[in-house]
A and B are shown apart, each in its own frame.
Chain A
Amino acid sequence: MTTLHIGPARHIGPAATVRHGLALAGRSVTKIRKNPESLLDVTLQPIIFLLLFVYLFGGALAGSPGEYLQLLLPGLMVQNIAFASLGTGMALNTDITKGVFDRFRSMPIARSAPLIGAVLGDVVRFVVTLAVLIGFAMILGFRVQTDPGRFLIAVVLMILFGLCLCWVSVFVGMLVKSPQAVPGTLVAFIFPLTFGSNVFVDAATMPGWLRGWVEVNPVTHLTNAGRGLLLGGEWVGDAAWAFLWAIAIAAVFFPLALRAYRRRVG
């Protein structure tokens, strides 16, 4: 017989919040393991993006698809992460209408724990989408020109960015009525973010007003950092900017998402 009595706790500290968040992230991972088809979007998307952009634009933009692939891949990593973050808001929007969230809310755990759990669980989706992207790119001829250490830094940086971007997705997921409305709303945000960058084309070819945006865009900084880390060259400055951007996005959207969640669930 296990003895347990949950005494009345008045406050839930940050350590407990993280512990609860991790336990709930475990739930997300178990769900993915049982429903592998839930990973279909993050599996197909990188393959489609790669084939489409490399062969459609490669010849025109870089002389050959092979050369374009080298330049494009770090940016595509960022883009796939951004699109993968759509899933968080959709999944939470679906979840919240089911009773299991009320069970969590009636327990002495941090209010934010179910959200943190969902976001942390999405690391699996990010890892899968990056693995498919890089694996398929290597089949097409992509080669990392630096070392495994810097490759790892690039991957960690991308995932960190994705985790922060997820809070935008969670926020939207709490605002819209149905899960289907999440991508529609978020695409209006993710398109200018990912395409209005130097992922696909050199910013020097753009008109001044657009170049202004492209140069501050976190996706541009992260892409530059990725190129430096995977192909060689400077990366620290851009990585720092991308990191600061990611923290800023999370700092704004985490509280917004939490407030929207509280309103949503009463």
Chain B
Amino acid sequence: MTYAIEAEGLVKRFGDTRALDGVDLAVPAGKILGVLGPNGAGKTTAVRILATLLRADEGWARVGGYDVAREATAVRGLIGLTGQYASVDEDLSGTENLVLIGKLLGLSKAAAKARAAELLANFELTDAASRGVKTYSGGMRRRVDLAASLVGRPEVLYLDEPTTGLDPHSRNEVWATVRGLVDDGVTVLLTTQYLEEADQLADLITVIDHGKVIAAGTPNELKRRTGGQSLQVRPTLAADGNAVAAILRQLTGVDPLVDKETGVLSSPVDNPMLLSALVRRLDEAGITADELALRLPSLDEVFLTLTGRVPATEGSAA
């Protein structure tokens, strides 16, 4: 497998604090890696190192096969950066910002203008193109930031908390854009405090806390690794509740939890084979169920298990 981004043992100290304390990352080309972690975990420091803005004290990182420290110029030719730190100039209009970036990337004036118009149209900013960016709403601002990072058609895109502080509608738009880019073969590294965002977008997730990777894998692997699967049944007839409870008790050895509002019964299980056993037993008893599932824990539960902290919830920008 070819990796678009690889890093090993990244360490970055700021005075006495170790912002990164030996971080390994690997993102296969064309995939989305979600770097998840609470505020101050070291996510932004990692992005800044991978974007050649900061030098690691120890460890190495390669982007598109180029070393971020020794071949920084080559790396800069491959990447796009969007986030709290890399933004556009508020005094300039959307068009002026994108044209400037195009010119800096070696486009002729005409080509830079064409590319700017194309991107602004893609991001539905054509109407606001000639207005100063400082008049843009939060969502528009984020879209023009994203457009700015795409002028050079990057192979690798860094999105540092791209939806922090956005309303759900704008957030969905950013997500749709990111999915579209990946369809075009772009590799994306996305940092987020939102589990839902990582779950929705990422092929792979790396959880960072206190500058260390505390878990890495696909969203499903992470959910499985922390255990806590449960069998959930919602009988069609509420009257069957007691019979279902009895079956669950026999299968799992414990009394199931009953959600009185929804009528869902759930029991923790460690053996996924119990699902088929449950189906057979319900069948034999002639009980039909509206809902029947072996449920993985939510990423929120995973996060809580891993870090011992409740994660930021959607909308509560930190």
Query: CA of A23 to CA of B100 in the docked complex: distance in angstroms?
Result: 7
Expressed in whole angstroms, the minimum distance between the Cβ of A113 and any Cβ of chain B is 8
A1-33 to B contact mask, C-beta < 8 Å, 1/0: 110111111111000100010011011001100
B118:A108 contact, CB within 8 angstroms = no
Task: Please state if B91 and A35 are interface contacts (CB–CB under 8 Å).
Answer: yes
Known: A31-B92, A99-B86, A99-B87. A4 touches B78 (CB 8 A): no
Residues of A within 8 A of B102 (CB): 4
Question: Which residues of chain A are within 8 angstroms of B77 by Cβ–Cβ distance?
Answer: 6-9, 108
What CA separation (Å) do A27 and B48 show in the bound complex? 25
Binds A, one of B33-41, B50-58, B163-171, B213-221: B50-58
Size band of the interface chain B makes with A: 35 or more
Are the CB atoms of B105 and A6 closer together than 8 Å? yes
Are A4 and B81 neighbours in the complex by a CB distance under 8 Å? no
A63 close to B (CB within 8 Å)? no
Per the CB 8 Å criterion, the residue count for chain A at the interface is 35
B53 close to A8 (CB less than 8 A): no
B-chain residues with CB within 8 Å of residue A35 when the two chains form the complex: 91
Cβ-defined contact, A1 with B85, below 8 A: no
Asked if residues A103 and B81 are in contact (CB atoms below 8 Å), the reply is yes
Contact across chains for B89 and A102 when beta carbons are under 8 A apart: no
Q: Is the CB of A20 within 8 A of B53?
A: no
- Decide if B91 touches A102 in the complex (CB within 8 Å): no
Assess the B73–A108 pair: CB atoms within 8 A. yes
Residue A203 lies at the interface, judged by CB distance under 8 Å to chain B: no
Given A1-B118, A99-B85, A102-B53, residue A20 in contact with residue B79 (CB < 8 A) = no
- Distance from B11 Cβ to chain A, minimum over Cβ atoms (Å): 15
* Cβ contacts under 8 Å, B75 to chain A: 8
CB < 8 Å neighbour of B79 from A31, A106, A265: A106
Q: Contacts of A153 on B, CB cut-off 8 Å?
A: none
Given known contacts A103-B87, A108-B76, A6 and B106 CB-to-CB distance under 8 angstroms: yes
Q: Are A4 and B76 in contact (CB under 8 A)?
A: no
CA distance A248 to B79 in the complex (A): 38
Taking a contact as CB atoms under 8 Å apart, the answer to whether A106 and B53 are in contact is yes
In the bound complex, do residue B104 and residue A107 qualify as a contact, i.e. CB atoms below 8 Å apart? yes
> Do B104 and A106 touch across chains, with their CB atoms under 8 A apart?
no
Q: Given A27-B89, A100-B87, A109-B104, A2–B53 Cβ distance below 8 Å?
A: no
Bound CA–CA A68/B44 (angstroms):
60
A20→B104 CA distance, assembly (Å): 6
Smallest Cβ distance from B64 to chain A, in angstroms?
7
- Count, A-B residue pairs, CB within 8 A: 114
The smallest beta-carbon distance between A151 and chain B, in angstroms, is 33
Q: Is B10 an interface residue (CB 8 A)?
A: no
Please name the residue on chain B nearest to A7 by beta carbon. B77
**CB of B224 within 8 A of chain A?**
no
Stretch of B107-115, B230-238, B275-283, B293-301 contacting A (4+ beta carbons < 8 Å): B107-115
A132 to B305, CA, bound (A): 68
Bound complex: CA A6 to CA B100 (Å): 15
> Is B132 a contact of A2 with CB atoms below 8 Å?
no
* Interface membership of B6, Cβ < 8 A: no
Find out whether the CB atom of A8 lies under 8 angstroms from the CB atom of B92: no
Q: Is A100's CB under 8 angstroms from B53's CB?
A: no
CA distance A31 to B100 in the complex (A): 12
* Residue B123 lies at the interface, judged by CB distance under 8 Å to chain A: no
Which residue of A5, A8, A266 is within 8 Å of B64 (Cβ)? A8
Q: Is the Cβ of A34 less than 8 Å from the Cβ of B53?
A: no
Are B100 and A26 touching (Cβ within 8 A)? yes
Q: Is the CB of A103 within 8 A of B78?
A: no
Question: A-contacting residues of B (Cβ < 8 Å)?
Answer: 48, 51-55, 64, 66, 71, 73-79, 81, 83-92, 96, 100-107, 111, 114-115, 118, 132, 148-149, 151-153
Q: A2-B107, A5-B153, A104-B104 are in contact. List 20 more A-B contacts (CB 8 A).
A: A2-B111, A4-B105, A4-B115, A4-B152, A6-B77, A6-B78, A6-B152, A6-B153, A7-B77, A24-B104, A27-B92, A30-B91, A30-B92, A34-B92, A35-B91, A100-B89, A103-B88, A103-B149, A108-B76, A265-B53
Q: Give 13 A-B contacts (CB < 8 Å), ordered by A residue.
A: A1-B118, A2-B114, A7-B77, A8-B75, A23-B100, A26-B100, A99-B87, A100-B86, A103-B149, A106-B76, A106-B86, A107-B152, A108-B73
| 7 smallest beta-carbon distances between A and B, as pairs | A99-B87, A8-B74, A108-B76, A103-B86, A108-B77, A106-B81, A23-B103
